[in-house]
Amino acid sequence: MALTILHTADWHLGRRFTSFDQESELRLTRARLEVLSRILDLAQSRNVDAVLCAGDLFDSASPDKEWWQGALDEFKRRDWQRPVVLLPGNHDPLLPNSVFDAHHPFRSGLPDYVHVVGEDGFELPLGDKAVVYATPCRSHAGQTNLASSLPPREPGDKRIRIGLIHGQTFDIDGYQTNFPIPRGTANERDLDYLAIGDTHAFREVEPNAPVPTVYPSAPEATNFGEKDTGYVAVVFFPRDRARRALVEKERVAAWNWRAQTCLSLGDLRELRSDENLRKTVLRLKLDMTLPLDEYDEAERILTELKGSLSANPRVGVLDEDRSGMRLAIGDVCAFEQNLPPVLQSVVRRLQAEAAERPEVAERALHHLYQLTRD
Amino acid sequence: MLAERESFVRRARSLPTDSKAESLVTAVRLTMERDDGARKIVIFTESLTTQNYLRDLLMNDAGLGDEEITLFRGSNDSPRALDALRHWRDEVAASMPAHSRPSPSVAVRLALVHEFKTSSKVLISTEAGAKGLNLQFCDTIINYDLPWNPQRIEQRIGRCHRYGQVRDVTVINFIAKDNEAQRLTFDILSSKLDLFGSVLDMSDQVLQTPRSDGSEELATALGPEFESQLRRIWDRARTVEEVEAELRRLRDSMEDSRRELQEIRKQTVGLIETRLDESVREVFRNIRESLPATLADFDADLERVLLGYLTACEIPHEPADTGGSRTLRIDPSPELPGALAEHGITVALGHSSEDESIHTAHPLIEAAIANARASCRGAYRVRFAIADDAAQSLQRRRGSRGRLALTRISYRGFEREDRLLVTAVFEDAEVLQPAAVAHELLLQSCRDLDTFDVPMAVTPDDLDEVVDEELFLDNSAVARAEQAAFEQTMDQLDQYVEDRIMVLRRARAGHAERLGPAEQKRDRALGSDARAEADQVVKRWTQAIERLDEQLGKLIAREDAVYERWKSFAHDRRYGGAEHERLLEAEFILE
- What span, in angstroms and rounded, lies between the C-alpha atoms of A73 and A60? 19
Interface probe with B: pick from A66, A312, A314, most Cβ of B within 10 Å = A312
Give CA B407 to chain center in angstroms: 31
Amino acid at B469: E
* DSSP code of residue B577: -
Note whether A14 and A119 are same-domain residues: yes
Q: In this structure, is the dihedral angle defined by the CA atoms of residues A110, A112, A115 and A120, taken in order, positive or negative?
A: positive
Q: How many domains does the structure of chain A reveal?
A: 2
Nearest residue on chain A to B236, alpha-carbon basis: A297
Gap between the Cα atoms of A179 and A9, Å rounded: 16
β-sheet with B325-330: strand ranges across: B317-322, B325-330, B345-348, B356-357
What is the CA angle B566-B571-B574, rounded to 5?
A: 125
Q: Name every chain A residue with its beta carbon within 8 A of the beta carbon of B577.
A: 44-47
Strand B381-385 relative to strand B578-590, pairing: parallel
* Optimal mutation site among A1, A25, A35, A46, interface B, most CBs of chain B within 10 A: A46
Q: Are B557 and A26 in contact (CB < 8 Å)?
A: yes
Cis, peptide link before residue B147, omega less than 30° from 0:
no
pLDDT tens figures, A293-351 = 888 899 999 999 998 888 888 999 999 998 888 888 776 666 777 778 888 888 888 88
B37, with CB counted inside 10 A (0-12, 13-18, 19+), is middle
- Using the beta-carbon criterion (under 8 Å), do A246 and B487 form an inter-chain contact? no
At B574, give phi and psi (nearest 5°).
Answer: -65, -40
By the CB < 8 Å criterion, does B240 face chain A? no
CA distances from A11 to A34, A47, A53, A89, A219 (A): 11, 21, 9, 11, 6
Instruction: Tell me: do A127 and A203 sit in the same domain.
Output: yes
Comparing C-alpha atoms, which of B153, B184, B186, B175 is closest to residue B246? Answer: B184
pTM of the predicted structure, to 2 decimals: 0.64
What is chain A's mean pLDDT, rounded?
89
Selecting from A37, A45, A310 the residue whose C-beta is nearest the C-beta of B577 gives A45
Q: Does any CB of chain B come closer than 8 Å to the CB of residue A251?
A: yes
For residue A40, list chain B residues with Cβ-Cβ distance below 8 A.
none
Whole-number pLDDT of residue B377: 59
3-state DSSP assignment of residue A139 = coil
Angstrom CA distances, B21 to A164, A256, B29, B60, B559, stand at 79, 53, 12, 11, 49
Conformational region of residue B573, where left means phi above 0, alpha means psi within -120 to 50, and beta covers everything else:
alpha
Side-chain-facing half-sphere of B29: CA atoms under 13 Å: 12
Judged against a pLDDT cut of 90, whether residue A4 lies above it is answered with yes
How crowded is the C-beta side of B433, counted as CA atoms within 13 Å? Answer: 6
> Tens-digit pLDDT profile for chain B (591 aa)?
566 667 766 776 666 667 788 888 988 988 888 777 788 999 988 778 888 889 998 998 888 888 899 988 877 778 888 888 888 888 777 766 665 677 777 888 888 888 998 889 999 988 766 567 788 888 888 888 877 666 677 777 777 776 667 677 888 888 776 677 677 777 766 665 555 544 344 334 333 333 444 455 555 555 666 677 777 776 666 666 777 777 777 777 777 777 777 787 777 777 766 666 667 777 777 777 888 888 888 888 899 899 989 998 899 998 876 666 788 889 999 889 888 888 888 888 877 767 788 888 888 998 998 888 777 655 688 999 998 888 898 999 999 999 999 999 999 888 888 899 999 999 988 899 888 889 899 888 888 888 888 888 888 888 998 999 999 999 999 998 899 999 989 988 988 898 899 899 989 999 999 898 999 988 888 888 888 999 999 999 999 999 999 999 999 888 999 999 999 999 999 998 899 988 888 899 998
φ/ψ (deg, to 5) at B411: -100, 135
| Domain boundaries along the sequence of chain B | 17-274, 292-374, 378-591
Q: Are residue A166 and residue A224 in the same domain, yes or no?
A: yes
CB pairs under 8 A between A and B: 73
**A263 & A242 share domain:** no
| Shared-domain flag, residues A32 and A174 | yes
H-type helices in B119-173, by residue range? 150-160
- Helix, strand, coil percentages in chain B from 3-state DSSP, rounded to 5: 60, 15, 25
Mean pLDDT along residues A241-263: 92
Same-domain pairing of A280 and A187: no
The DSSP annotation for B344-364 comes to -EEEESS--SSSEEP-TTSHH
| A197 and A339 assigned to the same domain | no
Using the 3D structure, point to which of A216, A251, A286 is the last residue of a domain.
A251
Structural domain of A179: 3-251
Distance from CA of B256 to the nearest CA of A (A): 24
Residues A223 and A300 in one domain: no
pLDDT score recorded for residue B99: 57
Closest by alpha carbon to B113, among B157, B76, B143, B145? Answer: B76
| Cβ A364 vs Cβ A343: under 8 Å | no
Got the DSSP string for B186-208? Answer: HHIIIIIS-SSSHHHHHHHHHHS
The DSSP result for B276-307, as a single string, is IHHHHHHHHHHHHHTHHHHHHHHHHHHHHHHH
| Cα separation, A211 vs B76, whole angstroms | 70
The dihedral of CA A136, A139, A140, A144: what is its sign?
negative
Contacting residues of B for A45, CB less than 8 Å apart: 574-578
For chain A, positions 256-315, list CB contacts with chain B under 8 A. 278-279, 307, 309-313
More confident residue, A247 or B8: A247
A276, A322: one domain: yes
Task: For A309, name the nearest residue in chain B, comparing CA atoms only.
Answer: B506
Give the pLDDT confidence of A184-212 residue by residue, as tens digits.
Answer: 889 889 999 999 999 999 999 988 888 99
Q: Does A41 touch chain B (CB under 8 A)?
A: yes
Say if CB B408 and CB B420 are below 8 A apart: yes
Same domain, A286 and A247: no
Closest CA to A290 of A318, A321, A257, A322: A322
Put simply, the answer to whether B476 touches A45 (Cβ < 8 Å) is no
By CB atoms closer than 10 A (0-12, 13-18, 19+), residue A158 is exposed
Point out the residue among A37, A251, A312 whose CB comes nearest to the CB of B499. Answer: A312
Nearest to A312 among B476, B479, B498 (CB): B498
ipTM score of complex: 0.88
Q: Is A284 helix (H, G, I), strand (E, B) or coil?
A: strand
B8 phi-psi bin (left φ>0, alpha ψ -120 to 50, beta other)? alpha
Taking a C-beta distance cutoff of 8 angstroms, is the pair A114, A86 a contact? yes
The proportion of chain A whose per-residue pLDDT surpasses 90, expressed as a percent, equals 55
Say which CATH topology domain B17-274 has. Rossmann fold (3.40.50)
- Residues from chain A that touch B490, judged by Cβ atoms under 8 A, are 254
CB B153 within 8 Å of CB B219: yes
Interface probe, candidates B242, B471, B475, chain A, greatest A C-beta count within 10 A: B475
Rounded-to-integer distance, Cα B160 and Cα B149, Å: 19
- Better-predicted residue by pLDDT, A118 or B76: A118
Domain boundary at A224, A251, A278, which? A251
Q: Are residues A292 and A350 in the same domain?
A: yes
Is the pLDDT at A91 greater than 70? The verdict is yes
Say yes or no: A82 and A178 in one domain: yes
Which pLDDT belongs to residue B199? 39
Rounded distance, CA A290 to CA B102, Å? 63
The β-bridge partners of B412 are B416
SS3 content of chain A, % helix, strand, coil (to 5): 30, 25, 45
Domain boundary among A183, A217, A251: A251
Q: What is the identity of the amino acid at A119?
A: E
Q: Which of B466, B502, B511 to mutate to test the interface with A (most CBs of A within 10 A)?
A: B502
